[in-house]
Structures are given as C-alpha cells and as structure tokens.
A and B are shown apart, each in its own frame.
Chain A
C-alpha cells in the first residue's frame, strides 16, 4: 500500500460541467501520474507531475488540466466534461526521485458523463 487515495471514487455529471478529481499521497513521492482506462484502449497517460508546480502532458491530455500546489496532492480537472471522458481514472506515484522506479496505483475514480 503506497498510501494513495482518490476522491471521489464515483461521480456522475452532465456534459459541460467542470469536474475535479483529487489524488492524495502520504509518502512525499516526487512523481505523480493521472491515467485513464477504457475498454479496447488500455491505460493511457493524461498528465504527470515531477514536483510541486511541475507538470507535463501525456498522450491524451486534450480537455484535461492538472495542478500540484503541494507534494501530496495532484488534481485533475475536466474544464467542460464530455461523454468521451466517461472512464475510470487512476492516479499513480513512482517511488524515488528520478521517476524510474516502481509505480503504484490508487483505487481509481469511475466517472460517468451524461
């Protein structure tokens, strides 16, 4: 258990509304990641962070933004949710300072956009 929690765990929202998902870690790991998991596509990286206020895009970043104002929290925001963003979202951390080490995942957030 890498001490990763995600909130909320489930959310139903309507198209066009903003949504923020939170990832919280208790062990001060430098690297944090947001993924989405969809049938037929597997896990895809949305954004990642390599330190407070240091973030970068992954392969499916359009329509998403992130923020990291504290080491322990990494927020994922859908500015205007669309039905294509219905998915399961996972947060992950990577141990160590270089981001090369073992990754551990949170329990996930199931988001439905109607």
Chain B
C-alpha cells in the first residue's frame, strides 16, 4: 500500500525566504504526483502536476521536482510571501487502471511579514 509522508507538519518562515517542502512515498511505481494548496476552510487548488517521466515542473515562483528512485518530491517556493501561507499537500498516483491518488497529510506553512 502506497504511503505518502510530509514532514514537518508545520513550518514558519520569515518573508522573502526560499523554502523547500518535502514529500516522500513508499512505492516508486508512480504514474504522476500532484501538489496542491489548501487555504483554511477552502477546497484544494492544484499547483503542479509532475509526470513520472519528468524531473521538474515550474509555475511562477513554484518548482516541483521528482526523484522516483528515492521516493521523493520537493516543492520549492522562491521569495516566500505572506500570501503563500496555506497548507500544501502532495498526492501520488500509482500506475495501473483506475488508480487513485494517495495524499500526504500536508505541511501548514506560515510566512511571517
């Protein structure tokens, strides 16, 4: 069974810092990995989808990397801002028909002004 771990559960940083959020998974036979953002009381917003054949995906100040062999993905946030404060979740989809996403429990990020 695929397990997805995100450590630490919470992180507080000063504004302007570059930061890395980590995601690890136990089964490397993944099809893709998706990073989400969730603001308090809201739904999940998709940030980046990275396919198993890719090493990186970028969107604005966000960069996601994937290392299947080591079972890791990182989400890099450049020049963090208070508006980046939210919970960030990663989710992994295994290969195979009708495979589903397995979610980590998320990292709650607080960016201090």
Contact = CB atoms under 8 A, between A and B. Distances in A.
Interface of A: 33, 40-45, 48, 50, 56, 58, 90, 92, 99-108
Contacts of A103: 34, 46, 91, 101
Contacts of A99: 98-99
Given A102-B46, A103-B34, 5 more contacts: A42-B103, A90-B43, A100-B93, A102-B34, A104-B46
A56 B98 CA distance: 10
Interface of B is mostly: strand
Interface residues of B, number: 21
Interface of B: 31-32, 34, 36, 42-46, 49, 89, 91, 93, 98-101, 103-106
B43 A106 contact: yes
A105 B43 contact: yes
A48 B100 contact: yes
Given A42-B104, A100-B93, A107 B34 contact: no
Given A100-B31, A106-B43, A107-B42, A50 B98 contact: yes
Given A102-B46, A106-B43, A43 B89 contact: yes
Contacts of B106: 42
Nearest to A104: B46
A107 B99 CA distance: 23
Contacts of A101: 49
Contact of A105 (B44, B98, B104): B44
Contacts of B36: 105
Contact of A58 (B31, B43, B100, B105): B100
